[in-house]
Amino acid sequence: MDKSTGALIACGTLLPNKKLYSLNLHSATANHTFTIHKSPDLETWHHHLGHANYQSLWDMAKKGTLTGVPIVSTSRPPKCESCVLGKQTKTQVPKKHEEGIGHKVMQKLEKVWVDLSGPHGVKSHTGNSYVMDIVNDYTSFPWSILLHNKDDLFPELKAWELAWENETGLKVEIYITDKGELKSHEMEAWLKTWGTEQ
């Protein structure tokens, strides 16, 4: 039947065990035409129902919760690449301050992350092309310091350290960098003077 007009297009019979229909055509001399009728499987309904869990779909179909959703049983549901990518996880940031590898440090300024980005395509209103990002591992508090050029990084980092060591009464113990712009003889000499590691 045509869904829009209701007109009869063809009629026929389902061939047993072949999942094919044998159509009776209007012309007596015409041969039979076969169309494939594919029953929906788990993968079909998984995609149609917004990537629902395979086991949940199978359970609902067996219990009759899903009406009008015939599912052909499969020994093992196929892998859905979209689901694999969407459910990938990363190691969680620890919530507690505990000692040991992989844990957050035990006090402020014990470990400080520093990264420089730039030059950026668009300068700031004050003409800065670089950004130095600093994160205190203990508090996860970030600072972003705008710089005109790379040469401003080292003096600005020293000024930041002096300000925060005076405020907290603690010393920076470790700087973690990508060993790019901060890697210099001047920086190494300054860190050794204060017993700070990089």
Kindly list the domain boundaries of the chain, sorted by start residue: 7-37, 42-86, 111-194
Q: Are 143 and 134 in contact (CB under 8 A)?
A: yes
Distance CA 130, CA 147 (A): 5
Residues contacting 145, CB < 8 A, separation 6+: 131, 132, 133, 134, 156, 160
C-beta separation of 120 from 98 below 8 A: no
For residue 163, what pLDDT is reported?
A: 92
In this predicted structure, what is the pLDDT of residue 27? 53
For residue 148, what are its two tokens?
């005109």
Q: Would you identify the CATH topology of the domain 111-194?
A: Nucleotidyltransferase; domain 5 (3.30.420)
pLDDT tens for each residue of the chain, 198 residues long: 777 888 877 778 888 887 787 777 655 545 555 555 566 677 777 887 788 888 888 788 778 776 666 666 656 777 888 888 777 766 665 566 565 555 667 788 888 888 888 888 888 888 898 888 998 888 888 899 999 888 888 889 889 989 998 999 998 888 888 766 666 777 777 777 777 666
Alpha-carbon separation of residue 25 from 3, 5, 118 (angstroms): 19, 19, 72
Amino acid of residue 111: K
**If you search the block for the tokens 């790019």, which residue do you land on?**
180
The token duo for 10 is: 């063809």
Distance CA 20, CA 73 (A): 19
For residue 154, what are the contacts with CB-CB under 8 A and spacing of at least 6?
A: 182, 184, 186, 187, 190
67 CB contacts (<8 Å, ≥6 apart)?
A: none
pLDDT of residue 65: 75
CB 137 within 8 A of CB 105: yes
One DSSP character per residue, 110-130 reads SEEEEEEE---SS--TT---E
